[in-house]
């Protein structure tokens, strides 16, 4: 039986540095303000994901998650700040990232209740829930969405990187998606050793289940088991982003995608100009996941190339991204070629 809910003051709260800034709690400048308030709840995680700064065996700072710093804050301050931020239209969502441990579910439930009882702000909870009962309680308490992070996209990779059972996690996610369509999300990380085909195929199945997919680029963090691994190549990430966006929008079907023997995306079975037109807005390259989640600089430096653009692309940026993407794909030749140049291969 569930214990009584905890008071906000009994929980360990941290806000991402960008969130603290946009909510007026610090004066640190932000290149792009977060549109969601990112909150980490709990102490060092009991789980041991190889990529995660919060993992049990990680030597990274307890203030770190990916390349973001999360300073501590009191529960009362956190609840007041996100409530006020939503009322002032500074943020449009709260994301609770729950570290694993015996109190994880109770902490998540208490935090959702504390926020939802005083504000209509949509709240999503990223948690390693293992039962439908836990998910039902979080949604009943006011969570708009529960995110069950797969991170790795194949059973072998998942069990190697996360040291947990794929079968149990996948079964839980599938059942939750069936019970609560459009209220379940997941995270996928590109660059853990998967092929593009494996990632895109799983994402396609998740879209079919109406699960929202937050795509991340693996980011090596000092002190973690994967600190020496390289992040994914940007061209690879762009192909995956384009495929996922087209699948999500229903503009292409999984069966139409062509991969080579190494699992690299080669063709979207579309004419070059048609694809250029579909991608022209640059939306495919923006941060995706829950509505209004932009995760600024979670995977990249503000000065470097963006894996996920946390804001609308300028037309020049969009044209550049589309142009580079088109150079990597194969197309059926047509009589007319547009602004992006000659098609080069027949499929
Ligand atoms: S997609 Fe964004 S808002 Fe949703 S759980 Fe993931 S990080 Fe949080």
Q: State yes or no: pLDDT of 54 exceeds 90.
A: no
The predicted model scores a pTM of 0.93
Confidence tier at 336 by pLDDT (50, 70, 90): very low
Confidence tier at 1 by pLDDT (50, 70, 90): low
Query: Which atom of ligand 1 sits closest to the CA of residue 298?
Result: 7
pLDDT digits (tens, 9 = 90+) for 139-189: 999 999 999 999 999 999 999 999 999 999 999 999 999 999 999 999 999
Residue 115 tokens read as: 């926020």
pLDDT digits (tens, 9 = 90+) for 251-309: 999 999 999 999 999 999 999 999 999 999 999 999 999 999 999 988 888 777 899 99
Confidence tier at 2 by pLDDT (50, 70, 90): low
Q: Provide DSSP, 44-74.
A: S-SS--TT-TTSTT--S-TTEETTEE--EE-
Give me the pLDDT at residue 29, please.
84
CB of 126 sitting under 6 A from ligand 1: yes
CB of 185 sitting under 6 A from ligand 1: yes
Alpha carbons 187 and 55: distance in angstroms, whole number: 17
Give me the pLDDT at residue 214, please.
98
Give me the pLDDT at residue 342, please.
39
Q: State yes or no: pLDDT of 62 exceeds 80.
A: no
Q: State yes or no: pLDDT of 45 exceeds 80.
A: yes
- What is residue 317's three-state secondary structure? helix
Pocket test for ligand 1, best of 94, 99, 112, 147 (most atoms within 8 A of CB): 147
Nearest CA to ligand 1 atom 1: 289
Closest residue by Cα to residue 311 from 23, 18, 26: 18
Confidence tier at 334 by pLDDT (50, 70, 90): low
Give me the pLDDT at residue 339, please.
38
Confidence tier at 27 by pLDDT (50, 70, 90): confident
DSSP state for residue 180 in the 8-state scheme: S
């Amino acid at each position: 039986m569930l214990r009584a809910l905890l008071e906000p003051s009994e929980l360990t709260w941290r806000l991402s540095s960008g969130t603290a800034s946009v909510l007026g709690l610090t004066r640190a400048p932000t290149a792009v303000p977060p549109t969601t308030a990112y909150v980490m709840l709990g102490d060092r995680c009991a789980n041991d994901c190889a990529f995660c700064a919060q993992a049990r065996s990680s030597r990274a700072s307890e203030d770190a998650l990916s390349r973001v710093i999360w300073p501590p804050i009191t529960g009362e301050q956190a609840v007041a700040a996100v409530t006020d931020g939503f009322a002032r239209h500074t943020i449009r969502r709260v994301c609770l990232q729950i570290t694993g441990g015996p109190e994880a579910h109770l902490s998540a439930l208490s935090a959702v209740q504390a926020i939802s009882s005083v504000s209509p702000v949509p709240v999503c909870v990223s948690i390693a829930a293992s039962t439908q009962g836990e998910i039902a309680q979080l949604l009943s308490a006011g969570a708009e969405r529960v995110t069950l992070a797969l991170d790795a996209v194949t059973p072998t990779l998942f069990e190697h990187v996360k040291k947990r059972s794929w079968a149990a996690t996948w079964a839980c996610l599938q059942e939750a998606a069936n019970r609560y369509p459009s209220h379940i999300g997941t995270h996928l990380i590109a660059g853990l050793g998967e092929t593009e085909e494996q990632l895109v195929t799983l994402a396609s199945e998740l879209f079919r289940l109406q699960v929202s997919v937050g795509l991340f680029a693996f980011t090596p963090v000092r002190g973690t088991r994967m600190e020496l691994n390289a992040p994914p190549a940007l061209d690879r990430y762009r192909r995956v982003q384009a495929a996922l966006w087209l699948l999500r929008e229903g503009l292409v079907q999984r069966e139409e995608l062509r991969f080579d023997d190494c699992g690299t995306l080669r063709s979207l079975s579309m004419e070059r100009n048609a694809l250029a037109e579909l991608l022209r807005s640059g939306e495919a390259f923006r941060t995706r996941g829950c509505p209004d989640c932009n995760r600024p600089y979670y995977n990249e430096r503000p000065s470097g190339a963006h894996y996920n653009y946390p804001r609308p692309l300028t037309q020049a940026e969009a044209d550049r991204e589309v142009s580079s993407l088109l150079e990597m794909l194969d197309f059926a030749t047509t009589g007319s070629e547009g602004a992006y140049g000659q098609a080069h291969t027949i499929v």
